[in-house]
Amino acid sequence: MIAGLFTSAHRRAHGASALLGGLIAAFALAGVLAAVDLGDREATLDQRRLELRAIVKRLEARGPELARAERTLAADPFLPGATPTLAANALQRRVVAVAEESGVALRTIGAETGSGDADAGGLPRVTLQATAGARIAALQKFLYRIETEAPFVLVEDLSLRGPPSTPQGESAARDPELEIDVRLVGFLKRSGG
């Protein structure tokens, strides 16, 4: 019977029908594959939208912090004050304010001015020495603010001492009150600008 199809007078019509059926099947298969691919792409796009929404929410939450960082970068990095003594006073006031806001208890504080390394073109500097007591979280907050807010101040030296080992309870052992000695350095503009 199959041999008869190809030897009959209608073989061209049967061949054309078979070819047309093959093309329809090929197009149907291509359509199914395209639909599957389109579904995968749609799922990928939905996943990207969710990721972008999460990024936007994080950026919106960090908006005030980013704005503060932009203001800091645009601010003057040098200590305010026309003279080294005024700059030293401004640095002391700033350190006292940041310490109070961070929960660091200052015990002693003193500043001295220096001329910097004139031969190397160094900037005039103010060195501030302080002793304090604080818990770890308060100290981290204090140091972060000191080094990331304008005018820029560098922590030149930091010494930490833990409390004497006396049993005061489990919470005191996890977050002890530390004794801190810190030396901070700020810089003034050279008189020439």
| Best-predicted range by mean pLDDT (62-71, 134-143, 162-171, 184-193) | 134-143
Position with higher pLDDT, 91 vs 61:
91
- Asked which of 67-71, 80-84, 169-173 is least confident by mean pLDDT, the reply is 169-173
Give residue 22's pLDDT band: very low, low, confident or very high (50, 70, 90): confident
Please give the average per-residue pLDDT across 121-146, as a whole number: 89
Q: What integer pLDDT is reported at residue 119 of this predicted model?
A: 44
How far, in Å, CA of 39 to CA of 47, rounded?
A: 12
pTM equals 0.56
Asked if the bond preceding 77 is cis, omega within 30° of 0, the reply is no
- The mean pLDDT value of the chain amounts to 79
How far, in Å, CA of 63 to CA of 65, rounded?
A: 5
Beta bridge partners of 126: 113, 186
Interval 88-126: pLDDT, tens: 888 899 999 999 999 999 999 998 877 655 445 577 888
Number of other CB atoms surrounding residue 161 within 10 Å: 11
- Asked which of 2-6, 28-32, 60-64, 82-86 is least confident by mean pLDDT, the reply is 2-6
Q: What integer pLDDT is reported at residue 118 of this predicted model?
A: 44
* 46 has a pLDDT exceeding 90: no
Q: What integer pLDDT is reported at residue 128 of this predicted model?
A: 92
SS3 36: helix
DSSP state of 162: P
Please give the average per-residue pLDDT across 142-153, as a whole number: 86
Q: What integer pLDDT is reported at residue 19 of this predicted model?
A: 81
How far, in Å, CA of 19 to CA of 39, rounded?
A: 30
Q: What is the largest CA-CA distance in the chain?
A: 114
Q: What integer pLDDT is reported at residue 159 of this predicted model?
A: 93
Q: What integer pLDDT is reported at residue 123 of this predicted model?
A: 76
